[in-house]
Structure 1
Amino acid sequence: MARAGVTYHDIAKAAEAIKTQGQEPTVDRVREHLGTGSKSTIAPLLKRWRSDNGEAADVSGLPNDLVEVVKSLHERVQQMADHRIEQARQEFETLKEELRKELTHADNTMAQLTARQRDLENQTERLSKEKSEQSRSLEDARVSLAKAESQRDEAAARIVELKESVAELKQENKDIRDHFEHYQQRTAEDRQQEREQFRSVNQGLNDQIQNLQHRLAQAESRASELFDANVQLQRHADELKRANGALNSDVKGKIEDVQNLKHELEEAVAKCREYQHQNDHLAQNMAVLTTQKADVDKQVAVLSQTLETTKTELKTTQDKAALLIDENKVILQEKAVIQGQFKQLQSSL
């Protein structure tokens, strides 16, 4: 059925105008002259105009076999195009799904590696903090040990000084006793001659003896105090030795812990490098997959362009086939008319 605005009258006027210009009216020329209408609409109306005007159809007498071959060719082209499109679409969907899965797996792996790297960084930072704290503790222990050793040296020096003071006091006491004995002997020899002087001297000596005895008691008390202080200093020195041994043991343990932490840190750094290498490898794989995806997109674009071209060719072939079918119908009608006329002529003869 003709479209609205394209009627048989329009086709007839266009065909007459083209014929007036000295050209043969064809579907394309009529369509170009009208500026509208489809070939499938113009072709039967143009054939009707030719039939009404008693003109012979401008055909080469195509047989039915040729029309069937054209139909078969059209169907094969259509099937091949559909099959190729479907195959390309399935391949694209399969490749797209595989790429999506690989991309998802790569994203998950990247996320896991990133989380693991963060954990390793946090662990490394924590180990660094613990190492710093242990270093500070070790330094404090060394400072305490140095202070203890200094106190021990001071205590030892003080003990030596106290021993020297005790020795001096003992020597002083001995000198006083020797002087006192010598003085008593001399007093006994001179007693007869200096009796009067002896009393006064004896009184002075008694006072001096009391003073010396008091000094001796003070010296003995001081020696006792120094001995007690020496015992306390010795105990303190023993305690410092034990503390020094404990600190040395603690320092050794801290050093071992630091070495273990260094070993763990080296292992963590090695694992981090390994994960970084895996991450780079995955990044390379993703780059390759991205390149493959770009190639597939290009192939899909080429296939799409080929499909559009095939569709255009198919549309052209369909139009030509429709035109040939319409012309074949007209030829068959004309053939039937000629055969009827021929039969009439035979019957009249």
Structure 2
Amino acid sequence: MARGGINKALVQKARQAILARGEHPSIDAVRVELGNTGSKTTIHRYLKELEEAEQGRGAAPVPLSSQLANLVAHLADQLQEEAQAAVAQEREQLAHERRDYLERIRQAESRSQQLETQCAGLIEQLQGAQQTLEQEQQQRQQAAVENARLLQANRDQEARLEDREGQVRSLEEKHQHARDALEHYRQASKEQREQEQRRHEAQVQQLQLELRQLQQALMVKQDELTQLNRDNAHLLTEARQLQKDQHAQQQLLAQKNQVLEAAQAALSGAQCSNEALEQRCSSLQNDVAQLREAASIQAQQAQSLQERLIEATTQLKLLGHVPLANVDGANDT
């Protein structure tokens, strides 16, 4: 198939240039001279016509009808070549645009997949943050239960301490009563000192022994009271530490809530971006549909040109001026 712009005049000019250099005007040489354009069949036909024309210059002149037929055949060949070149160029441009839009669609789909992956990662982070939040809430509930237990234990210790203090007060009252009784006994014994000296000494020793026992019991009770005070102070310290831990857990929970809100905001942004990409993808698909319609219209135009060319060739055949060999060569090109 010859390309657009190849005609008999160009072949003749290339042949003359080759002859001027003293070379043989073969088909390949002429095609190289023309810039590697045109089919070898067309070049061969033109060279044959030029050689026949040179051989017939000394003979009778060529009829005008033959020249007109040759000119019409050349014009038909050139018209067909130009139409085919235009159709090929339009098809190549359409294929290039189609590849471009397909590449854009592929990039959009790749971006959409990346955003879906990021969205899935954010959802996993959100789920992890929710699980961490649930764990923190469980720990907080456990800490509240432990705090309530310690407060109840503190109240129990205070009740026990009050009970021990009541016991100490009762012992002190008994001790005071014993002292009062001893003082009363001393007053009474002064009157009977001479008669009951030995019995009085025995009673005094007995009372002193009881007094020492009471004092020892009082010291033991005071030691127990001191230990209870220490236990109470230790429980108060633990309660304060638990309150500090609870406050720290509350701060950590607030931080987790902030992280969760940030993750939710990022997830909303990713969803908006995904929706925008989906809209862009839909727009690109519409553009591809429009290009397909344009390609269909151009194909119809090319078909119309082909039909016009066939119609022109048919008319030339009906006129009876176009040689059958020339028409067959035009169809080959």
The alignment's TM-score, normalised by the length of structure 2, stands at: 0.67
- Is 2:252 aligned against 1:257? yes
Q: Which residue of 2 aligns with 1:78?
A: 80
Higher deviation after alignment, 256-265 or 102-111: 256-265
Q: State the distance in 2 between where 1:182 and 1:66 align.
A: 170
- Pair 1:100–1:329, CA change in 2 (3 A): closer
Q: Show structure 2 runs of 5+ residues with no match.
A: 1-63, 324-333
Shift of 1:316: 2.8
Q: Which residue of 2 aligns with 1:322?
A: 317
Q: Which residue of 2 aligns with 1:284?
A: 279
Q: Is the 8 A contact 2:70 2:322 kept in 1?
A: no
- Is 2:237 aligned against 1:242? yes
1:260-314 Cα offsets, whole Å, 9 max, x none, are: 2222222222221111111111111100000111111112122223323332332
Shift of 1:130: 0.7
Shift of 1:187: 3.9
Equivalences for residues 163-312 of structure 1 within 5 A: 163-189=165-191, 209=207, 212-213=210-211, 216=214, 219-220=217-218, 222-233=220-231, 237-312=232-307
- Is 2:152 aligned against 1:150? yes
Q: Is the 8 A contact 2:83 2:305 kept in 1?
A: yes
Q: State the distance in 1 between where 2:219 and 2:236 align.
A: 29
What's the % identity of the aligned pairs? 20
Q: Show structure 1 runs of 5+ residues with no match.
A: 1-61, 331-349
**2:321 is paired with a residue of what secondary structure?**
helix
- Pair 1:179–1:114, CA change in 2 (3 A): same
Q: State the distance in 1 between where 2:89 and 2:234 align.
A: 91
Larger Rg: 1
Equivalences for residues 83-102 of structure 1 within 5 A: 83-102=85-104
Equivalences for residues 18-57 of structure 1 within 5 A: none
Q: State the distance in 2 between where 1:276 and 1:242 align.
A: 51
**1:328 is paired with a residue of what secondary structure?**
coil
1:37-83 Cα offsets, whole Å, 9 max, x none, are: xxxxxxxxxxxxxxxxxxxxxxxxx9456545643553454244223
**1:300 is paired with a residue of what secondary structure?**
helix
Higher deviation after alignment, 308-317 or 116-125: 308-317
Q: State the distance in 2 between where 1:210 and 1:243 align.
A: 45
1:125-164 Cα offsets, whole Å, 9 max, x none, are: 1011111111111221122122222222222232222122
* Structure 2 residue identity aligned to 1:290: Q
Shift of 1:240: 2.9
Q: Which residue of 1 aligns with 2:53?
A: none
Shift of 1:231: 4.3
- Pair 1:163–1:97, CA change in 2 (3 A): same
- Equivalent pairs, count: 260
Equivalences for residues 89-128 of structure 1 within 5 A: 89-128=91-130
The alignment's TM-score, normalised by the length of structure 1, stands at: 0.64
Q: Is the 8 A contact 2:140 2:246 kept in 1?
A: yes
Shift of 1:96: 1.1
Q: Which residue of 1 aligns with 2:3?
A: none
